[in-house]
Every structure is written in structure tokens, then in C-alpha cells.
């Protein structure tokens, strides 16, 4: 076996533990170091995952010289470490959202192109087998003339989640609230599934053309949070289909997320990880097997009320896919351009909510 990829983590927040566990499950990967400014947190992480701790990521990059970095800093602090990595020839795999605006995402993409390093995004739902099954059906044209593609994330977060000492709920770091932070996985999944139906869609084109949205603060003290905890949006896709987005952290006690895709020839509906509808006008021999494979009800509440109550296996597959792309010399399946699309849609949601008009997705 070839030498394992030496991986470092920038930012030791809650999600970094999932990255560390995922890396530990990959035979051709080794976690060598991690950085954060807080010594107590850093040393505890170092001991738990058997890696070096650095208080400063630039020092870590210069001394450790990792092959790949995964970025787990607050959302609005993804750009600067990406620039530092690109300037040193280090490949970057970055947590969602890639950044909090398309302008900052574009800087990341340009820097990695100039530095001739790969830039990848973390969207574990694209590696969720049940979502992949629906995406494959869409790519095969089995839904026919598409009518609806929607994502619903009816979650709850306690007030402590938005405490003054935390970055969540702060516009500078979060870039937005329930839609940008929690619902972005559903936004990306929907645009990915529908985009796979558009055979002539340019790789850098967004499948969503137009958005109309409302946002508000309904479940938390509006003086405590700077971002929305409730958002609804209507989408028009470039193929004429319509869609809906619901993103909330205001719906106690929080319920399972849902995705619906339906058209003239079929409908699929996913409730968390359970495929509750998978019907097509023309049944194929493998359809019943797909229904049985994903018929098990989701155990627990997913991330409905606890942001850490999620399975990290999607992260593992996401990282494996990135390393495979690195080994084969090809672009990652979720490169910077792909990861940008969800940010562009959510940016349009916020522009529409602010203006009171439908807006074009840039």
C-alpha cells in the first residue's frame, strides 16, 4: 500500500472530532496534527486522536507540511486558511458551507487554481446511499418531466446554541442562520439531484434559476441572534420544475428532515434516511430491492435537535472520495465549483427576503 496521506485539521470545534474519527477509519490516511488557539482544547484533542497540536495554523503548515488539510473553522473563517494552504501547495477539503458568500468562495477557488492544489467541499449527503439512489434515478430520467424538488429541515436548537460566547448566530461567522448553517445539506442535495437530470447544463451553471423567499426570527430572542431561525423559499429550476425549501431551528422539538422529488413519471421521498416513497410509472426489476434496502426507519432524531447526533460515515466516504481524486489526478466530485452552488442559492434566498422580490441565482 502507498504511504498514507498526511492530513491536518484546522479548527478544533465539534465537527473536527467527526473528521478525526473519519480519517482514523481510512487505511491510506493519517491524522498528523490539528490547530486551534485554545491550548486546553488543543491538547485534549491531541491526546484523544494521537496527533500534534499547534496554536497557529500557519506554523502547523510550515512545520508539519501536511499533504491535505481539512478546514473545520467557523463558516466565515474558511477563506484565510484556504489561502494559506494554497500558497504552500497543500490540498484543501473544507466543511460546508465552503464560505459565507460566493465572493469569498470565488477567492478560494481562484487561489487553489493558482496554487495547483485541489479544493473540495464536505457534503456528506451526496455520499448517503439513499440520496445516491434517488440521484441515480433522476440521472436516468425516471421521474420524467419534473414537477417538484423540495427539501425540508424542521429542526430545533436550544437558546444555548446561540449563546453570546458561541459563533453560531453571528452574521460575521455564520453568514446566515437556519438556511446557511443547518439546511445547506438539503439545498445541495436537491440542486445536485435535479442538476443530474439536465444533461446540457454547464458544469459551473446552477440548476436553480430563480428564488423567492421569506426569513424571520421566530423561535429565539431576536436580540440574541443576528440571523434567521426560520426561512421558506420557492425555487424555479432551469428545466422548469418548481421547488420549496424550509429551513428552521425554531420548531421544537425538531423533526426529521425530508426531501421530495416528483414528476410525470415518478416520485421519491426520503424521510431522514428512510425511503418512504419510490414509485415509477415504469417499474424496473431492481426497484423493489431499493425500497427494501432503504425501508428501515431512522433511529433517533438525526440532527433535529442535537447537531452532533449524526453518523460520521458520510464524512468518511466524502474524505475517501477526495483522496481517490487526489491519487488519480482528477478533480474531486465535489470541487469548489460544485460546492459553490448551494451557497449561491442561499445567497439568493437572503437577497430575496431582504428585497421582497424574486431574484436570479448568480
Q: Is residue 324 part of a domain?
A: no
Pair (114, 182) in one structural domain: no
Q: Is residue 311 part of a domain?
A: no
Q: Is residue 314 part of a domain?
A: no
Closest among 131, 242, 135, 122 to 184, alpha carbons compared:
122
Is the sign of the CA dihedral 97, 106, 333, 326 positive or negative?
Answer: negative
Pair (44, 11) in one structural domain: yes
100 DSSP β-pair partners: none
Report the CATH number that the domain containing residue 172 is assigned in CATH.
3.30.360.10
The last residue of one of the domains, among 89, 123, 157, is: 123
- HEC string of the chain equals CCCCEEEEEECCCHHHHHHHHHHHCCCCEEEEEEECCCHHHHHHHHHHHCCEEECCHHHHHHHHCCCEEEECCCHHHCHHHHHHHHCCCCEEEECCCCCCCHHHHHHHHHHHHHHCCCEEECCHHHHCHHHHHHHHHHHCCCCCCEEEEEEEEECECCHHHHCCCCCCCCHHHHCCCHHHHHCHHHHHHHHHHHHCCCCCCCCCCCCEEEEEEEEECCCCCCCCCCCCCEEEEEEEECCCCEEEEEEECECCCCCCCEEEEEECCEEEEEECCEEEEEEECCCCCCHHHHHHHCCCCCCCCCCCCCCCCCCCHHHHHHHHHHHHHHHHCCCCCCEHHHHHHHHHHHHHHHHHHHHCCCEECC
Task: Please answer whether residues 231 and 177 qualify as being in contact, where contact means their C-beta atoms are separated by less than 8 angstroms.
Answer: yes
Pair (96, 137) in one structural domain: no
Q: Is residue 292 part of a domain?
A: yes
What is the pLDDT, as a whole number, of residue 1? 57
Q: How many CA atoms, within 13 angstroms, populate the side-chain half-sphere of residue 4?
A: 14
Pair (25, 163) in one structural domain: no
* β-sheet with 29-35: strand ranges across: 52-54, 29-35, 5-10, 68-71, 91-94, 119-121
Closest among 92, 66, 61, 60 to 79, alpha carbons compared:
92
Pair (277, 131) in one structural domain: yes
Terminal CA-CA length for the chain? 44
- Which range of residues forms the domain containing residue 146? 125-305+336-360
Report the CATH number that the domain containing residue 76 is assigned in CATH.
3.40.50.720
Pair (81, 218) in one structural domain: no
Q: Is residue 114 part of a domain?
A: yes
Q: Is residue 193 part of a domain?
A: yes
Pair (225, 263) in one structural domain: yes
Pair (241, 113) in one structural domain: no
Pair (145, 45) in one structural domain: no
- Distance (Å) of CA 23 to CA 7, 17, 33, 48, 88: 8, 10, 12, 13, 22
The last residue of one of the domains, among 107, 123, 139, is: 123
Q: Is residue 316 part of a domain?
A: no
What is the pLDDT, as a whole number, of residue 255? 96
C-alpha 318/C-alpha 138 separation (Å) is 21
Q: Is residue 322 part of a domain?
A: no
Pair (220, 350) in one structural domain: yes
Q: How many structural domains comprise the chain?
A: 2
Pair (118, 108) in one structural domain: yes
Q: Which three cell numbers mark 153?
A: 429541515
Q: Which three cell numbers mark 351?
A: 437577497
The last residue of one of the domains, among 101, 123, 145, is: 123
Q: What is the pLDDT of residues 266-283, one digit of tens each?
A: 999 999 999 999 999 999
What is the pLDDT, as a whole number, of residue 292? 97
Task: Please answer whether residues 28 and 54 qualify as being in contact, where contact means their C-beta atoms are separated by less than 8 angstroms.
Answer: no
Pair (34, 134) in one structural domain: no
Cβ neighbours, 10 Å, residue 29 = 21
pLDDT per position in the chain (362 positions), as tens?
568 999 999 999 889 999 999 999 999 999 999 999 999 999 999 999 999 999 999 999 999 999 999 999 999 999 999 999 999 999 999 999 999 999 999 999 999 999 999 999 999 999 999 999 999 999 999 999 999 999 999 999 999 999 999 999 999 999 999 999 999 999 999 999 999 999 999 999 999 999 999 999 999 999 989 999 999 999 999 999 999 999 999 999 999 999 999 999 999 999 999 999 999 999 999 999 999 999 987 777 777 877 777 789 999 999 999 999 999 999 999 999 999 999 999 999 999 999 999 999 98
Amino acid at each position: 500500500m502507498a504511504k498514507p496521506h498526511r492530513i491536518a485539521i484546522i479548527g478544533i470545534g465539534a465537527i473536527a472530532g467527526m473528521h478525526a474519527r473519519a480519517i482514523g477509519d481510512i487505511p491510506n490516511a493519517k491524522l498528523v496534527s490539528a490547530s486551534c488557539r485554545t491550548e486546553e482544547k488543543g491538547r485534549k484533542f491531541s491526546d484523544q486522536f494521537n496527533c500534534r497540536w499547534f496554536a497557529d495554523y500557519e506554523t502547523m503548515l510550515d512545520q508539519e507540511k501536511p499533504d491535505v488539510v481539512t478546514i473545520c473553522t467557523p463558516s466565515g473563517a474558511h477563506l484565510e486558511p484556504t489561502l494559506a494552504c494554497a500558497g504552500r501547495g497543500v490540498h484543501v477539503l473544507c466543511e460546508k458551507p465552503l464560505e459565507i458568500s460566493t465572493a469569498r468562495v470565488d477567492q478560494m477557488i481562484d487561489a487553489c487554481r493558482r496554487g495547483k492544489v485541489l479544493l473540495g467541499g464536505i457534503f456528506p449527503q451526496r455520499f448517503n446511499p439513499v440520496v445516491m439512489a434517488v440521484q441515480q434515478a433522476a440521472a436516468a430520467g425516471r421521474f420524467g418531466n419534473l414537477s417538484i424538488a423540495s427539501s425540508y429541515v424542521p429542526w430545533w436548537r436550544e437558546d444555548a446554541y446561540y449563546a453570546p460566547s458561541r459563533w453560531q448566530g453571528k452574521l460575521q461567522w455564520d453568514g446566515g442562520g437556519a438556511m446557511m448553517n443547518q439546511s445547506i445539506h438539503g439545498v445541495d442535495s436537491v440542486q445536485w439531484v435535479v442538476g443530474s437530470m439536465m444533461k446540457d447544463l454547464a458544469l459551473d451553471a446552477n440548476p436553480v434559476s430563480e428564488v423567492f423567499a421569506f426569513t424571520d426570527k421566530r423561535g429565539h430572542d431576536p436580540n440574541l441572534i443576528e440571523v434567521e431561525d426560520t426561512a421558506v423559499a420557492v425555487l424555479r429550476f432551469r428545466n422548469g420544475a418548481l421547488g420549496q425549501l424550509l429551513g428552521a431551528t425554531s420548531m421544537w422539538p425538531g423533526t426529521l428532515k425530508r426531501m421530495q422529488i416528483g414528476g410525470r413519471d415518478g416520485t421519491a421521498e426520503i424521510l431522514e434516511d428512510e425511503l418512504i416513497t419510490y414509485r415509477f410509472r415504469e417499474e424496473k426489476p431492481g426497484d423493489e430491492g431499493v425500497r427494501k434496502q432503504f425501508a428501515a426507519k431512522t433511529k433517533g432524531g438525526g440532527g433535529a435537535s442535537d447537531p452532533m447526533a449524526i453518523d460520521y460515515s458520510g464524512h468518511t466516504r466524502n474524505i475517501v472520495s477526495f483522496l481517490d481524486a487526489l491519487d488519480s489526478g482528477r478533480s474531486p466530485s465535489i470541487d469548489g465549483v460544485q460546492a459553490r452552488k448551494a451557497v449561491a442559492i442561499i445567497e439568493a434566498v437572503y437577497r430575496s427576503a431582504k428585497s421582497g422580490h424574486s431574484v436570479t441565482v448568480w
